[in-house]
């Protein structure tokens, strides 16, 4: 094993894990493969992540957090709530399409990993619906959206109504002809339904 001159960090381990997962897939990727890619012992990896499951959970969270981070900027933007909602949903759809289309092997791997990490996925969905809730609340405050006693329930309904355009179960449909028009039609319907 070649000595490494870089300090071993959790981030470096997660980057290497992603590369190993891309090459070997989730069924065959091991902590030893990750350590070998980093030029360290597998014990060094275990000092940062106590188990293989913890490592897989962390790499899944990192992958999901990329989307959450991109969307949080849209949700917090200083624009009217309807524009923010449209931009947020379009950004979510574009991010998911990009992940599925640009690196299908890694996307398939993460589909497996998200199935293993229900807590991480639940936290991700809670973060996304919290972002949507803030947009809905801003829309209600400004009078652009109808008053609601439960903005969180409204946000969850919007999230579920648009699932075809962000749930990985539908990834095969995202590049089909007419999908963009379908997305715009659903988006228009959702926005009209939120207006007073």
Segment 93-134, tens digit of pLDDT: 999 999 998 888 888 888 888 888 779 999 999 999 999 999
| pLDDT more than 90, % of the chain | 80
Task: Kindly state the average pLDDT of the residues 148-168.
Answer: 97
Residue 1's pLDDT band (cuts 50, 70, 90): very low
Task: Kindly state the average pLDDT of the residues 124-152.
Answer: 97
Q: Which residue has the higher pLDDT, 2 or 150?
A: 150
Terminal alpha carbon distance of the chain? 65
Collapsing DSSP to helix, strand or coil, 170 comes out as helix
Residue 23 C-beta-side C-alpha neighbours within 13 Å: 11
Phi and psi at residue 179, to the nearest 5°:
-65, -40
Whether the pLDDT of residue 171 is over 50: the answer is yes
pTM: 0.88
Phi and psi at residue 145, to the nearest 5°:
-110, 150
Q: Supply the mean pLDDT for the chain.
A: 93
| Widest CA span in the chain | 65
Collapsing DSSP to helix, strand or coil, 56 comes out as helix
Tell me how crowded residue 72 is: count the other CB atoms within 10 A of its CB: 17
Would you call 16 exposed, middle or buried from its count of C-beta atoms within 10 A (0-12, 13-18, 19+)? Answer: buried
Residue 3's pLDDT is what? Answer: 46
Rounded Cα distance, 161 and 118, in Å: 21
Convert 102-165 into a string of H (helix), E (strand) and C (coil).
Answer: HCHHHHHHHHHHHHHCHHHHHHHHHHHHHHHHHHHHHHHHHCCCCCCCCHHHHHHHHHHHCHHH
Would you call 178 exposed, middle or buried from its count of C-beta atoms within 10 A (0-12, 13-18, 19+)? Answer: exposed
């Amino acid at each position: 094993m070649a000595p490494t001159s870089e300090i071993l960090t959790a981030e470096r381990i997660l980057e290497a894990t992603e590369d190993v997962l891309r090459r070997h897939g989730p069924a065959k990727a091991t902590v030893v493969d990750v350590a070998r890619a980093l030029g360290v012992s597998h014990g060094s990896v275990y000092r940062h992540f106590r188990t293989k499951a913890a490592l897989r959970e962390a790499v899944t969270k990192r992958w999901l957090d990329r989307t959450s981070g991109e969307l949080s900027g849209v949700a917090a933007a200083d624009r009217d709530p309807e524009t923010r909602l449209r931009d947020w949903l379009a950004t979510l759809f574009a991010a998911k399409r990009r992940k599925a289309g640009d690196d299908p092997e890694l996307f398939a791997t993460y589909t497996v990993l998200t199935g293993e990490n229900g807590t991480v996925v639940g936290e991700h969905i809670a973060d996304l619906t919290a972002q949507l809730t803030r947009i809905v609340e801003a829309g209600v405050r400004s009078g652009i959206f109808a008053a609601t006693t439960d903005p969180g329930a409204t946000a969850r309904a919007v999230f579920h109504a648009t699932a075809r355009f962000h749930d990985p179960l539908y990834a095969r449909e995202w590049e089909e002809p007419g999908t963009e028009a379908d997305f715009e039609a659903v988006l228009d319907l959702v926005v009209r339904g939120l207006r007073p």
